[in-house]
Amino acid sequence: MKFAPVLTFKEIADNTSEKEKEKKLEDRSRWTQFFNAIVADYFLGIDLKAYHRDFIPGRDRLDCYVPASGVFNCGGRVVGKRKGKKKKKKDGENNEAAKVKMQESQKGCGRNWNSDRTLVKFVCFINENEMKGGHCKLLVDLREFGQRCGHCTMHYENPSFNDTCIRAMLNWLLYTILEAIFNIVDNSIEINLDDLKIHSSRRRPRRKIVANGEGERKGFEGNHDTINCEACEYGKPCGIHRSKIKRKKNKNKNAAPVNTSNNTLP
């Protein structure tokens, strides 16, 4: 069977500012361009014979977490209007001042920062009933975990990646898909761990020598702001690569059970 990988994204929120929406669309265009050149082109002309014994299409999905170096910008977002009964304004000037103050607080301070612990999640699943040009769809949903500025706004900013970083993440994704879903190990796929900025969970703390000669614990190299990290809030392995086959949630409880007796492709 032949497969056609397709990259999908989460819908952009309605309260996203025009500037931030334009940036997201530009980033997604770059992601799609590199995905088609690296992942989709790899599957062109390849006829796969079987799935991995631990992967059942339609039942299982592959979650692939890839840490990398990302860039963030505090840009703010538009605040949506609250629905409810309209209250009578007591003081027009005070209400107007409060409105201006809230708008200013949502603009963002424009601060930029880099993080080597930026986490990207790829969710891969196959539905043999969905076809694209005679090929079975291999759907890959991209999820970027954001970080907060910590100084002004309280929402998460989405990261941006350079071209080298995107190529490294997609090469890692391609290698993981082949190994976890199709039981294929292709060592010709180039993966540079320095580009991914993958850290070990066991790192030695740096020590600073003080005037009296005693050692003072300075902290781990590459300190990470866990309070303002979305991945850390959800308990994700921030800074560590991980991939796992998980059973896909079935929204239709009355659906027929999946046949798991044979993983051979037709």
- Its pTM stands at 0.74
**24-28, 52-56, 243-247, range with the lowest pLDDT:** 243-247
Residue 151: pLDDT over 60: yes
Instruction: Report d(CA 98, CA 206) in Å as an integer.
Output: 47
Q: Which residue has the higher pLDDT, 231 or 264?
A: 231
Sign of the CA dihedral running 257, 139, 66, 74: negative
As a whole number, the mean pLDDT across the chain is: 75
Sign of the CA dihedral running 229, 232, 233, 234: positive
Split at pLDDT 50, 70, 90, the class of 28 is very high
The number of beta carbons lying within 10 Å of the beta carbon of residue 32 is: 16
- Half-sphere exposure (CA, 13 Å, Cβ side) for 76? 14
Task: Return the residue matching tokens 């086959």.
Answer: 245
Residue 96: pLDDT over 70: no
CB 130 within 8 A of CB 106: no
DSSP state of 55: -
CA distances to 10, 26, 193 from 37, in Å: 21, 17, 20
3-class DSSP state for residue 174? Answer: helix
Torsion of CA 88, 92, 97, 99, to 10 degrees: 40
Residue 196: pLDDT over 80: no
3-class DSSP state for residue 249? Answer: coil
Residue 88: pLDDT over 70: no
Predicted local distance difference test score (pLDDT) of residue 234: 87
